[in-house]
Every structure is written in C-alpha cells, then in structure tokens.
Amino acid sequence: MKIIETDCLVIGAGLAGSAYALHVVRAGFRAELLSMGAPLEANSDWAQGGIIYDTTADPQALARDIFVASDHTSNPAAVEQLVREGPEALKELLLDDLAVGFDRDAAGGLDFTREGGHSVRRIIHAKDTTGHAILTAVAARVDATPGITRRSGWMAVDLLTLSHNSDQPRDRYQPLTCFGCYALETATGEVAAVVAKKTILATGGLGGIFLHSTNQPGSVGHGVAMAWRVGARLIDLEYVQFHPTVFFKKNAPRFLITEALRGEGAVLVDAHGRRFMDAVDPRGSLAPRDVVTRAIQHHLATTGEACVWLDVSALKPDFIRERFPGICERALAHGVDITREPIPVVPAAHYSCGGVHADLHGRTNVRHLNAIGETACTGLHGANRLASTSLLENLVGARAAARADLAELREGAFPQARPRAWQSPAKKADPLLVRQDLLLVQQTMWNYAGIVRSPRRLARARRILLELREDIQAFYRDCRPARELVELRNAVQSALLVVHAANLNPESRGCHFIQPDDTAES
Ligand code: SIN
C-alpha cells in the first residue's frame, strides 16, 4: 500500500476545501487536496445566485435575516462570526487577491441583488453562474500554488483513527484521534493511505440521497458517513433544505432556477396564472425557502398538477438574457424560452443545514479532524438556511479553521502513527445492482423522508434502509472498491442518519416538516 505523508489532508476541492488549502500552504505547510471528480466537480461550482457581501450600514440586519429564515434556531455565535468576518474574508480572497469578475453597475460599483428572506440587496454575483466564476479563479490559484498537491479522481474511503487503523494495537487506548484517510484512486482502483497531521472534511452536502436534487452527482454525504463511522458528533441532520425552483420538463434534467430571478421580480404562479404565494405569506414569492417549498408541495398535492410556474413577465427580455444567460441557454436547449414564457418548476433537495458538528474553528470532537463548508454544522443555518450564505460560510469557515490549525501546526505535537495495510477483495461489483440500490435509497428518501414527513413514512424509510444497508455492507466487504460502490455505501448511511434525526425530532421547524400520520399529504 502506498503511503503519502502531508501536513494537511483536505478531502473535497470545492470552495471551502480549496480556500483552506490556500491558507495553510501560504503559511509554509503542505496540503493534499482530494476530489472524487474533476477540479470543478463541486457544488460550489453550481451555485447560481451569489454570495453575500454585506457592506451596508447595519450589518446586524443580516443577522436578523439569518435568524428569521432559521425560525430563530441559528447559533448566535456562528451568525455573529459570519456577519463580522464575512466581508473581510470575501474581500481578501475574491476581490483583492483573485479579482473575480463580479457584475458591476453602471457606475462601476458591485451590483447587488436580493434573494428570498433578504431584507435588502446585499448579494454580489457573476451573472447567474457565480459559483463557477469563483471556483474557476480559486482552482486556478490552487493549481499555481506550489505546496498543494491536487489529486483529482481520488476519493476518501475511510478516515484513519488511532483507535481503528494504527498498526500499533496499543494506540486504541489513545483519545479519539484522526491521522488521515484511506483514499481510492478511482482510475486504478488502488487504495493508498494519506497520513496527515490535520484532516479536513470538506466533501459538500448530501442532496444526492434524494431522487431530485440540485447537487452534483455523487453528493451523498461522504463526509457525514465517514465521520459517523469514526464516532464524530453529527447534528441537525433532519434539516435538509429543499430549493423551491428547479427546472421541470419531461425527459429534461432538473437544474436550479436561481432565487435571484424572484429577487429581480419573477413570481410563482399556478397553471391558471394565479400568484398562490400571496395567500401564504406576506413576503409572497420571496418568503424563505422552506415556506415557499411547502406551499408548492401543498399546491401540487391538492391540485394534482405536475409543476408550478415562475412568471418572469415583469422582467425585460434583454435584462433576462443579460443577467441570467446560463439559465436562458439551458432552458432553451429544452424548449423553454424564458424571455417569452413562464418557467416550469418544482422543488428539489438542495442543502444540508446539519452535518458534522464543528466549532467556530472547524474542530470536531475527533482530535485533528476538522469539518468545514456544507459538511460541517456550526449551527449557522439552524433549521433553515438563508439564501446565499453558503459560499460565504465556506470562506469564513476555511479561514477560521486554517488560522486555528496553523497555530497548532507550528507547535508540532502530532501522533506518529502508521496505518494498517488495506486489503481489497478481487471481485468487481455488479454495476446494475449498485445503480438500482442507489435509486432505491433516493426514492425512499424522496417519498418518505422528503419535504413532508410523518412518523409512519419515516418508519417505512428506516425499515427499507436498514435492510438495504445490510445488503450493501455485505456487497462492499466482498468487492473491490470503486467510486460507485463507495458512494452507495455512504449514501445508505447518510440516508439512515437523516431518517434517524428526523425520527428523533417531533417538532416541525424550518425545513423539517413532520405531520401526524392521519393528516400527512403527499
Ligand atoms: C439560488 O441561486 O437560488 C441558490 C443560492 C443558494 O442556495 O444560496
């Protein structure tokens, strides 16, 4: 087994992981940056709407909006950190250092937009492909930075801990401590050990455990599942945010229709052109996501319609083309000209507000294991995330974690553990079984643990998933690891963890909505 040694092992090369790597390497340490797929294959790349850059006179207004969106459940310390450190973290990396091409107004200043739940315009954007503009610049800087070794097509399989994986049996008496991971090189099928002083989970979210999702393929909660296997504390996993507006057309892929369209004046209507949100919430189509999502779900369940519509007629065609070129192009490719007709939309799983519990420096309860970005839960989002907070959370969390780690890395007291060798069975997994099992996980989660939950639905989900996990574990033990198999193993585990958390919480709040069995509607 190949052993790679480094200072910081970053699992996930989205915005959070990449920003962390840049920070520690600039301070003279080495980082290995692992990503399952190509460099830009990360949820950060698909973020459309924008990133909060709050330079208004009243920064506490942002804190208030975050609390309101979360139904007053967010962790005040995490909110305060975002509000206080956000503008500087963004300016430092994205404006001053990388000069990301955010849109400008006629006077050359940054152009600010709005999304649901925001009381003022405080979101900057690059057309409707903000995440792509940011991650492209960040990835280029990563690749030009000596000291960061990018390993695309490498996926972490399991974390290494002293208790589980050291070649010294007595290490199991040590406190719970992480020292790297086993990593699969997907092109060769070989497993190596990456031994690190600090291991950072930045694997993104878990939307991919649901049948319909805005996430990159393979976003099935890898970090959450790996962290659970080594005994890390997980929190708030029942709070899975569904995005209200995802493109819906038969035989076309689902893709995000940014909330910024509503921020610019588009409204949700039903098949008869009625603005059904106005009767639901005084903020209408710009109510927080959980409110809008449930209203759409309720509307679809009671009318039997397949989708609702985003009416963009209040926006001038030239403005739509100029401001939302990505959505225009993709919708047109599937026969919808959004400058002339409403956009058919439905909700889809979007963001995990919960995750691996982390303090404000990314530290988990496992020594030397950090979690940042969507994988982590500092409590910032509470029961429901405010739009356009996630890219900013990535920057703030990465910077805070790197600063704390640098202090420790300089002091230099880390375990000198060696991992036990990895044994791989020779048998190849049957791809048809793997695909079908993943589909079963996704359908189960969508139908029984999705937007509207009930105790009976959750119990059904749990039964199906427990049985499936048995089969998948057996399958996993017998077969050579491959990306799809590792994904399936983590998907069923993350799904069970979400269902477990949902079962334990009888209170409907934010994006966890649970109804008594006899009143549950689809
Ligand atoms: C969107 O553009 O609607 C998504 C932005 C986000 O989830 O913060």
Residues 218 and 273 in one domain: no
CATH code at position 450 = 1.20.58.100
Dist. CA 100–CA 91, nearest whole Å: 10
Dist. CA 31–CA 144, nearest whole Å: 13
Residues 176 and 309 in one domain: no
Pocket residues for ligand 1 (CB within 6 Å)? 47-49, 258-260, 387-388, 390
What is the rounded average pLDDT for all residues in the chain?
Answer: 95
Contact (CB, 8 A) for 369 and 159: yes
Task: Determine what percent of the chain falls in helix, strand and coil, rounding each to the nearest 5.
Answer: 40, 20, 40
Dist. CA 52–CA 93, nearest whole Å: 14
SS (H, E, C) 437-486: HHHHHHHHHHHHCCCCECHHHHHHHHHHHHHHHHHHHHHHHHECCCHHHH
Q: What tokens does 162 get?
A: 């002293």
Query: Per-residue pLDDT for 235 more than 90?
Result: yes
pLDDT digits (tens, 9 = 90+) for 485-509: 999 999 999 999 999 999 999 999 9
Residues 321 and 384 in one domain: no
Q: What tokens does 448 get?
A: 């029984």
Dist. CA 194–CA 275, nearest whole Å: 54
Tell me the CA–centroid distance for residue 367 and ligand 1, in Å: 33
> Beta partners for 371?
201
pLDDT digits (tens, 9 = 90+) for 162-197: 999 999 999 999 999 999 999 999 999 999 999 999
Share of the chain above pLDDT 90, in %: 92
CATH code at position 383 = 3.50.50.60
Q: What tokens does 469 get?
A: 């996990």
Residues 96 and 160 in one domain: yes
Domain end marker among 327, 349, 371 = 349
CA 102 to chain centroid, in Å, comes to: 22
Domain end marker among 316, 333, 349 = 349
Count: domains in the chain: 3
The reply to whether 417 falls in a domain is no
CATH code at position 303 = 3.90.700.10
The reply to whether 421 falls in a domain is no
Q: Which atom of ligand 1 is nearest to the CA of 259?
A: 3
Q: What tokens does 349 get?
A: 């799983």
The domain in which residue 272 lies consists of: 245-349
The reply to whether 292 falls in a domain is yes
Residues 170 and 260 in one domain: no
The reply to whether 416 falls in a domain is no
Q: Which atom of ligand 1 is nearest to the CA of 388?
A: 8
Tell me the CA–centroid distance for residue 214 and ligand 1, in Å: 10
Residues 231 and 292 in one domain: no
Confidence of residue 412 (pLDDT cuts 50, 70, 90): confident
Residues 345 and 358 in one domain: no
Residues 172 and 40 in one domain: yes
Give the per-residue pLDDT at 521: 60
The reply to whether 70 falls in a domain is yes
Give the per-residue pLDDT at 413: 81
The reply to whether 386 falls in a domain is yes
* DSSP result, 84-105: HHHHHHHIIIIIIIS-----B-
Q: Which atom of ligand 1 is nearest to the CA of 49?
A: 2
Query: Per-residue pLDDT for 522 more than 60?
Result: no
Residues 212 and 264 in one domain: no
The reply to whether 423 falls in a domain is no
- Residue among 48, 264, 324, 343 to mutate when testing ligand 1 (max atoms within 8 A of CB): 48
Residues 155 and 97 in one domain: yes
Residues 281 and 357 in one domain: no
Residues 16 and 155 in one domain: yes
The reply to whether 286 falls in a domain is yes
Domain end marker among 381, 411, 441 = 411
Tell me the CA–centroid distance for residue 384 and ligand 1, in Å: 13
